[in-house]
């Protein structure tokens, strides 16, 4: 049994609101603005490619297809929906491939609950690109601060922060875009917090992408209801039976002051493998060993993958039977890397590959062990063959210092994801518009480009 958390100070929720409520695009440092645009581009690529996933078809059939509404666009599709339903569908689509960005402070995926909310509302309100992107940054910053407040205990307990903390981020972004007053912000967060839910046991199933969609839709609905005067707890984080107390951690509002001037968006981690981020270090370590030593999969006698204990409850599906489960299998993804499979392609993570005899044979020679000395984003891979024992250690938990190179890789990723759906010309138009999003008079124009030509 865990000890009861200390009660947060009475000003925690208000301090969170104060930290981002008046955030303006011009006050965001230049490097953070670059990364914010990169987050937008990466999200759009993931949503466009994920729009054709079967889980999105099911969501559309049960929501948008029944509404016959035209408030907001469905990214990568021809249809439209109510604002909340568009946020639901677009959030799930962008997380369907599990290829969207992540953050170690939030311990989840920060953009995917927030951007669907602000994009849908930007259409509803017909706002500018600048207003949309600064609302996104405000929501992003609030959810990362809240992630720091609740800390790792929240994640370890079994909650999925993309769903829970993401609901707060989406509500904050929506409140910012709608220009709510302080009381409106507090009530919007109160509504989002009381409905925040999502469990890690859902990893490897369609319910995980649904977490992102529900968080986005909750943020939209919470802010719109708050604008109408809907009441909710205005101390949702720090109340005795509020979010922090019931989710294993509380924090002092004075501690939030130490984050002043810090922009968490600059610390975003982007995926270059279409799998759970905690498999990335192992994938890259195994790839280096294969390339550096010419390791042939058939010659591998044994593989040890050492990871932090927390990874075992996230991405350690020992015998994945579907492509989706393969994304959350350290054994499976390490075997893919040693076989030379293209882990950057979402298409590689197929049910057929999960059942491939070569993959299964190599996967069964992979052992996953816990090492408490390792960071959650780190891994040590040891491959043994008749020719020797090869070891590689990596940690993928640090944001890139080279934003130009990061941008180049993300453009390449975006083109690979979007071109099959939209064509080259439309993909180029989106790239150009995202690069100048703060100068666009209508954010809705960006959404129009995401519909198939």
Q: Identify the pLDDT of residue 8.
A: 47
SS (H, E, C) 239-306: CCCCHHHHCCCCCCHHHHHHHCCCCHHHHCECCCCCCCHHHHHHHHHHHHHHHHHCCCHHHCCEEEEE
Is the per-residue pLDDT at 365 higher than 90? yes
Q: Identify the pLDDT of residue 5.
A: 35
Please give the DSSP secondary-structure letter assigned to residue 3. P
34 pLDDT tier (thresholds 50, 70, 90): very high
> What SS3 state is found at 389?
strand
Cα 132–Cα 214–Cα 87 angle in degrees, nearest 5 = 35
- Reference 174, options 117, 214, 120; nearest CA is 117
CB 385 within 8 A of CB 365: no
Q: Identify the pLDDT of residue 150.
A: 86
Q: Identify the pLDDT of residue 221.
A: 98
Distance CA 16, CA 104 (A): 19
- Reference 117, options 139, 134, 149; nearest CA is 139
Distance CA 450, CA 186 (A): 33
CB 376 within 8 A of CB 129: no
Distance CA 332, CA 364 (A): 9
The DSSP secondary structure of 83-111, one letter per residue, reads HHHHHHHHHHHHHTTS-S-BBTTTTB-SH
Cα 393–Cα 349–Cα 411 angle in degrees, nearest 5 = 75
> What SS3 state is found at 450?
coil
Angle, helices 207-227 vs 182-194, to 10°: value is 150
Please report, rounded to a whole number, the percentage of residues in the chain having pLDDT higher than 70.
96
| Structure tokens that stand for 49 in this block | 């490619």
Distance CA 199, CA 22 (A): 32
Which domains can be identified in the chain, with CATH numbers? Answer: 12-270+404-449 (1.10.4100.10), 277-395 (3.30.1330.120)
Is the per-residue pLDDT at 2 higher than 80? no
Q: What is the mean pLDDT of the chain?
A: 94
Q: If you average pLDDT over residues 323-334, what whole number do you get?
A: 97
How buried is 41 (Cβ within 10 angstroms: 0-12 exposed, 13-18 middle, 19+ buried)? buried
Q: Identify the pLDDT of residue 6.
A: 39
Q: If you average pLDDT over residues 394-413, what whole number do you get?
A: 97
* Of the listed ranges 241-250, 338-347, 398-407, the one predicted with least confidence: 241-250
Is the per-residue pLDDT at 4 higher than 50? no
252 pLDDT tier (thresholds 50, 70, 90): low
Is the per-residue pLDDT at 421 higher than 80? yes
Please report, rounded to a whole number, the percentage of residues in the chain having pLDDT higher than 90.
90
Distance CA 408, CA 41 (A): 12
Q: Identify the pLDDT of residue 259.
A: 81
Over residues 286-296, the pLDDT tens digits come to 999 999 999 99
11 pLDDT tier (thresholds 50, 70, 90): confident
Q: Identify the pLDDT of residue 104.
A: 94
Q: If you average pLDDT over residues 143-153, what whole number do you get?
A: 90
Q: Identify the pLDDT of residue 319.
A: 96
Q: If you average pLDDT over residues 163-192, what whole number do you get?
A: 98
- Reference 440, options 25, 2, 11; nearest CA is 25
Over residues 179-190, the pLDDT tens digits come to 999 999 999 999
9 pLDDT tier (thresholds 50, 70, 90): low
Q: Identify the pLDDT of residue 258.
A: 74
Distance CA 397, CA 154 (A): 19
44 pLDDT tier (thresholds 50, 70, 90): very high
152 pLDDT tier (thresholds 50, 70, 90): confident
> What SS3 state is found at 19?
helix
């Amino acid at each position: 049994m865990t000890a009861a958390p200390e009660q947060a100070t009475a000003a925690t929720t208000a301090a969170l609101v104060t930290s981002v409520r008046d955030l303006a695009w011009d006050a965001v440092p230049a490097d953070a603005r670059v990364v914010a645009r990169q987050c937008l581009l990466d999200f759009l690529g993931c949503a466009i490619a994920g729009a054709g996933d079967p889980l999105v078809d099911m969501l559309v059939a049960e929501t948008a297809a029944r509404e016959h509404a035209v408030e907001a666009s469905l990214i990568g599709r021809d249809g439209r929906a109510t604002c909340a339903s568009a946020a639901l569908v677009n959030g799930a689509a962008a997380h369907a491939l599990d290829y969207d960005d992540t953050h170690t402070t939030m311990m989840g995926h920060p953009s995917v609950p927030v951007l669907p909310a602000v994009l849908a509302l930007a259409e509803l309100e017909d706002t500018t690109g600048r207003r949309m992107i600064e609302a996104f940054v405000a929501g992003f910053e609030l959810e990362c601060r809240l992630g720091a407040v609740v800390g790792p205990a929240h994640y370890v307990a079994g909650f999925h922060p993309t769903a829970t903390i993401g609901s707060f981020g989406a509500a904050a972004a929506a409140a910012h875009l709608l220009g709510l007053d302080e009381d409106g912000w507090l009530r919007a967060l109160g509504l989002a917090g009381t409905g925040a839910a999502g469990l890690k046991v859902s990893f490897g199933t369609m319910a995980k992408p649904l977490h992102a969609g529900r968080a986005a839709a909750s943020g939209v609905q919470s802010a719109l209801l708050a604008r109408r005067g809907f009441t909710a707890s205005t101390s949702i984080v720090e109340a005795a039976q509020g979010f922090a107390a019931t989710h294993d951690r509380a924090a002092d509002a004075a501690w939030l002051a130490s984050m002043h001037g810090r922009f968490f968006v600059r610390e975003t981690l982007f995926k270059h493998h279409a799998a759970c981020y905690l498999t990335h270090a192992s994938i890259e370590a195994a790839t280096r060993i294969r390339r550096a030593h010419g390791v042939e999969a058939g010659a591998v006698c044994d593989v040890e993958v050492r990871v932090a204990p927390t990874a075992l409850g996230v991405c350690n599906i020992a015998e994945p039977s579907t492509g989706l489960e393969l994304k959350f299998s350290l054994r499976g993804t390490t075997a893919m890397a040693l076989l030379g499979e293209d882990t950057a392609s979402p298409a590689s993570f197929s049910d057929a590959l999960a059942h491939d005899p070569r993959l299964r044979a190599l996967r069964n020679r992979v052992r996953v062990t816990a090492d408490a000395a390792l960071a959650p984003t780190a891994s040590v891979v040891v491959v043994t063959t008749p020719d020797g024992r090869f070891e590689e250690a990596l940690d993928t938990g640090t944001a890139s210092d080279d934003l130009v190179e990061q941008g180049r890789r993300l453009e390449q990723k975006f083109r690979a994801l979007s071109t099959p759906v939209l064509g080259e010309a439309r993909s180029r138009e989106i790239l150009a518009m995202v690069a100048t999003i703060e100068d666009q008079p209508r954010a809705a124009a960006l959404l129009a480009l995401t519909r198939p030509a």
